[in-house]
Structure 1
Amino acid sequence: MHQLPIHKIFVAGFAFATVHWKKILEISIIPVLISLPLLMSAPELIALAKQMFANKLSEPPIFLDNTGLYLALFFYGHLSLSINLYRLVVLGEQSVSILPVLEFAKIARFIGLTLLVGFVSMATLIMNNLLWLSLLISFLVVPITLNFVNIAIGNPIKYRWELSFPAQLNLFFLQVVVPMLIVLLFGSLSRMLALDIGVEWAARVLAFYWSSITLALCYQLITKESQSNT
């Protein structure tokens, strides 16, 4: 892949969301509902996590009784919605429904890839608190994230994508930099203007939908060019 036009993907992403907003809303209903228990307790959990990282707790933290269940439901909702968004972009509206993903093999593969990418990307930040190193690692592994779309549509995982440096850089910008800037911008505005924390969470939701839709669009461009070259 020699190029990945950012401006065209921006336009295509917004156009897709505008045309298919009803279907996006439909496939979001159940994932959002099963994620609500964790989202409603999120402020308390975030405050507790900040205290833990700052070493301000004098005794072991006490979590809510159902925190593990809430996390599992949230993760499943996130996973199911991600898969359906990828399928919606690549395969069309007929490939998804209001029901969440129930295919165990697909779920297991998606979880495995999520843990791999998450661990590789965040390990350096957690251990060394070096944002630049975490971003560098994210740049190196970002082609692997295209396999989320492969899993969603039932294709085998691909280990080599043969992206050019500009294409990989643009993919990194779309998948890492833009979502991060969205969250940072809205988070800063909400704190400056003393707005509700819901503004920052809305930004996170927007970043999630943005990254999911644009990843699938990038996948389409990359695979289409790869097929035309063979």
Structure 2
Amino acid sequence: MAVPPSLPAGDPPASAGQGSRGGLTVLCAVALLVLAVSLLGGNRGSDDSAGAPLPARAGASAPASSGTGAAALPRSRPVRLTVPGIAVDAPFTDLTLAANGQLQPPPAADTNLVGWYAKGAAPGETGTAVIAGHVDTKTSAAVFARLDQLQKGDVFQVLRADGRKASFTVDSLETFAKDAFPSRRVYADADRPEVRLITCAGDYDRQAKDYKDNLVVFAHLT
């Protein structure tokens, strides 16, 4: 399931702009998290826990990467994301869950902003950190407009509140249909520090006023 974008009913996307998908420049709701009952129910940890958005299950693992990666860092809030290869230099905001268990997207008014699921692992901490950003808005390209240009082996950094800079290497990019999003695979907990960068992708559905797919970048601390 996808979070519906906040567009007025019947309001079509504006004309194409730089970084738009499929010739459309629209407000894109990026996060597709519909969390398992274990996160929302009795198996959930305390509000201060750093559990992943979806607990690891047998047979649910992230794509294999080359090398074992760097040693984990202690928990610290992310401050800024820099992805030199696609000219991203953006501050963070915290993302929370709505009452229906879906992850709230970052505010659309600021096109140069990324969101971090603050109840999950912090970037650099052991586990799966989730970072989401808009691909575009109704009027312009947004922070993750060029996310699909990343390639395996590319490196990006997260500046943390403790002053450390965590560097991550891209393992893979994959596109998933929103109505068949593999939550357990994408959000499964990890035994090393990993990150998922997520944005909208694919064709724009005018009736639903949302993109049909999501792009996920899998990466690990190096």
Normalized per residue, the structure richer in helix is 1
Please identify the structure whose Cα radius of gyration is greater.
Answer: 1
TM-score by length of 1: 0.26
Q: Which is strand-richer, 1 or 2?
A: 2
